[in-house]
Amino acid sequence: MSHISAATQTIGFLLTPNFALMSYASATEPLRAANLLAQSPLYQIVPLSVDGQPVMASCGLAVPCLSLEAWREGAGRQAGLDNSMKDNAGYSRLHSLFVVAGGNPSDWRSASTAYPHLRRLSRQGVRLGGISGGAYLLVDAGLLDQHAFTIHWEYAAALAEAFPMHQPKQARFVLDGERITCGGGVAALDMMHALIAERLGTAFARRVVDWYLHTAVAEPEGPQRSVREERFATRHPALIAVLEAMESTIEHPLTRQAMARLAGVTPRHLDRLFSRHLGTTFLERYRDIRLTHARKLLEQSPLSISEIAFATGFSSASHFSRAFQARFGLQPKRLKAKMA
């Protein structure tokens, strides 16, 4: 848009390497549809990067971006931009800025140079948000202290290890004053429905999501993952109780006897349930959950192998390494070297 009306809200999206295109599209397309339906420039979408270079999405598509520096103080022009980007930018003051992060936290190191700009924007009253892994960067920048937030479930483990005092909500998206966070994916479409409704009313927001055939808008507190019966591939209440307990006791595994008491069955009956319904044993499933969690930490956190071993309930790094290699066919140190 060459003309930015007084009613236009400029929404920035700070992209990091390997961001998920679906998350970005689910957040930006509703804004574009709102402009079309209203026949008015209600929203201006500005893709941003730390250095003004294009950012590659996880699918291999590069998105042209403006430099975040160019938007400091809400104005100013960056030399070297092509005319079309200058015309489309307008360089108006940002109303909101979303950090969109995907891939692995190791991909986000360069984004730390954006922290001073994000803090400055926060002081100026710009509403800040995180999409998918974006909340991790906002936490790291100290911008989610005293705020409720969520993050994509894939990054929850890495965030818990790096920032144990910050506990994300298990929600699709969270609106908390001047902070907005979203798990990513299609949940960003639900979040934008809420933000458009907040500004323009529910009826108009419904027209926007109908544009994308999104007839079932989820509530903010909705789950990020499929219902537990589908996720665990069983409907047996005793097994579901034990499997949930396994996921929440990774660092300090409970005994088979303790798990049986929790489920209200005998240890022998618990063994039969695992064999009959899941085709595995109690110990095998518990170990698999812990090793899968360990793999996420190896890929996403700066923890050492010894720290990850203890964080997933193994008595020593050597014991952990043997179990990990038996499960995944490679040593933890090799996987960590690949992710460096």
* CATH code at position 165: 3.40.50.880
Confidence of residue 88 (pLDDT cuts 50, 70, 90): very low
Domain ends where: 211, 239, 263?
Answer: 211
What integer is the mean pLDDT of 57-65?
95
Residue 223 lies in a domain: no
| CA 324 – CA 290 distance, rounded (Å) | 10
Domain ends where: 159, 178, 211?
Answer: 211
Share of the chain above pLDDT 90, in %: 70
The count of structural domains within the chain is 2
The tens digit of pLDDT for each residue in 120-137 reads: 999 989 999 999 999 999
pLDDT confidence of residue 89: 42
Residue 221 lies in a domain: no
The tens digit of pLDDT for each residue in 305-330 reads: 999 999 999 999 999 999 999 999 99
Residue 3 lies in a domain: no
Residue 219 lies in a domain: no
Same structural domain for residues 152 and 78? yes
What integer is the mean pLDDT of 273-285?
95
For residue 81, pLDDT beyond 50: no
For residue 159, pLDDT beyond 50: yes
Q: DSSP characters for 87-122?
A: HHHTTPPEEEEEEEE-S-GGGGGGGGGGHHHHHHHH
Dig out the tokens for 98 from the structure: 């979303």
| CA 288 – CA 336 distance, rounded (Å) | 19
Same structural domain for residues 45 and 156? yes
What integer is the mean pLDDT of 147-162?
91
Same structural domain for residues 305 and 158? no
Share of the chain above pLDDT 70, in %: 90
For residue 264, pLDDT beyond 90: yes
Q: For residues 76 and 49, which has the higher predicted lDDT (pLDDT)?
A: 49
Range of the domain at 308: 228-339
Nearest to 97 by CA among 153, 143, 59: 143
Residue 138 lies in a domain: yes
Nearest to 101 by CA among 93, 92, 112: 112
Same structural domain for residues 244 and 174? no
The tens digit of pLDDT for each residue in 183-235 reads: 999 999 999 999 999 999 999 999 999 999 888 888 888 878 776 767 788 88
- Least-confidence region, from 56-70, 86-100, 230-244: 86-100
pLDDT confidence of residue 87: 38
Same structural domain for residues 106 and 234? no
Same structural domain for residues 103 and 232? no
What integer is the mean pLDDT of 255-261?
95
| CA 193 – CA 200 distance, rounded (Å) | 10
Same structural domain for residues 114 and 169? yes
Q: For residues 109 and 295, which has the higher predicted lDDT (pLDDT)?
A: 295
Residue 154 lies in a domain: yes
Same structural domain for residues 201 and 245? no
For residue 90, pLDDT beyond 70: no
For residue 142, pLDDT beyond 70: yes
- Least-confidence region, from 88-102, 121-135, 255-269: 88-102
Same structural domain for residues 155 and 254? no
Domain ends where: 211, 242, 262?
Answer: 211
Same structural domain for residues 203 and 236? no
| CA 147 – CA 128 distance, rounded (Å) | 11
Same structural domain for residues 63 and 199? yes
CATH of the domain at 302: 1.10.10.60
pLDDT confidence of residue 6: 53
Residue 217 lies in a domain: no
Same structural domain for residues 50 and 188? yes
- Its pTM stands at 0.75
pLDDT confidence of residue 2: 41
Residue 333 lies in a domain: yes
